[in-house]
Amino acid sequence: MINTWSTAAGRALTALRAVRGASAPVTCGLIALCCLIFALTPASGLTPAYGSGDTLAAAQRAYFRHWGVVPAELFDGPARAALTPATALFVHGSWVHLLGNMLFLFVFGVMTEERMGRVEFTLFYVGCGYLALLGYAAANAASEQSLVGASGAISAVLGAFLYLFPRARVTSLLPFLFFLPMRFPAWVVLPFWAALQWLAAGRAGQGPGVAYLAHLVGFCLGFVYAWVRYGKEKGPKGGPGRAVVGDGRATRVRSAPAPAPEGENHS
């Protein structure tokens, strides 16, 4: 009995060290950059220079419209609008929006960056994020709502994670199970999450809210990229990418449900 507990403790410690020891400067840098931008801009409401009340609200609307994606302008507007699907990845509409996105980026980005490498992960993140917002804009070409947020890129990270680490254990808080923490393999949690985005996208209107379609586009792009890029590589047991630590057990990661804030269209 003592030997069994000792072995289990050793495996848990090995897994914890593997996750903590992961080097992911790009993921950490993206999180720091998004937080810094948010804190220094009108979105946070922390900078006195932008005023308060109606003055602050007007500054926020102008900020989102300038740096976010406005579908109606993207395809029939100034040339600078073509850059907005990239700049919008670093703009967030509220504290809840920012913290929810950064949590998901940290949980799933560290291992994905470790697997891809820094340069490839950076290009993957920005490229898939750009295409995800572009896809949403194309499907809502007449919309005047500005679209901001990194969720398109982060959804791509989730899609790649699903292919690369399908057996990694993800601790999730599910509302319909009274937010009890439960561990499931990534191949259970992430497709379930994608299905929820699909259902929500079907009910989404044209008003302010969450751009679920951008989540879906990003998720599919990330999964397909990982499949095409790493499909011929084998994991330690002959399967595609698996998170391996020490004795070959799957790494456990932790997550939480993504928030769905209202306001400007959020991705």
pLDDT of residue 183: 60
Query: Homologous superfamily of 12-266 in CATH?
Result: Rhomboid-like (1.20.1540.10)
Which is the catalytic residue, given 94, 143, 151, 155? 151
- pLDDT tens, position by position, 190-209: 877 777 777 776 665 544 45
Report the alpha-carbon distance of residue 90 to residue 74 in Å, rounded.
18
pLDDT of residue 203: 64
Which is the catalytic residue, given 215, 255, 266, 267? 215
pLDDT of residue 122: 97
143 counts as catalytic: no
Task: Kindly report the backbone phi and psi dihedral angles of residue 134, in degrees, each rounded to the nearest multiple of 5, phi listed first.
Answer: -65, -40
Query: Which amino acid appears at position 187 of this protein?
Result: W
10-residue stretch averages of pLDDT, the chain, 267 residues long: 38 40 84 96 90 91 94 84 94 92 92 95 97 92 90 95 87 48 67 75 57 90 95 53 34 42 47
What residue spans define the domains of the chain? 12-266
CB neighbour class for 121 (10 Å; exposed up to 12, middle 13-18, buried from 19): buried
Q: What is the pTM of this model?
A: 0.77
pLDDT of residue 92: 95
pLDDT of residue 241: 41
pLDDT of residue 202: 64
Report the alpha-carbon distance of residue 71 to residue 147 in Å, rounded.
8
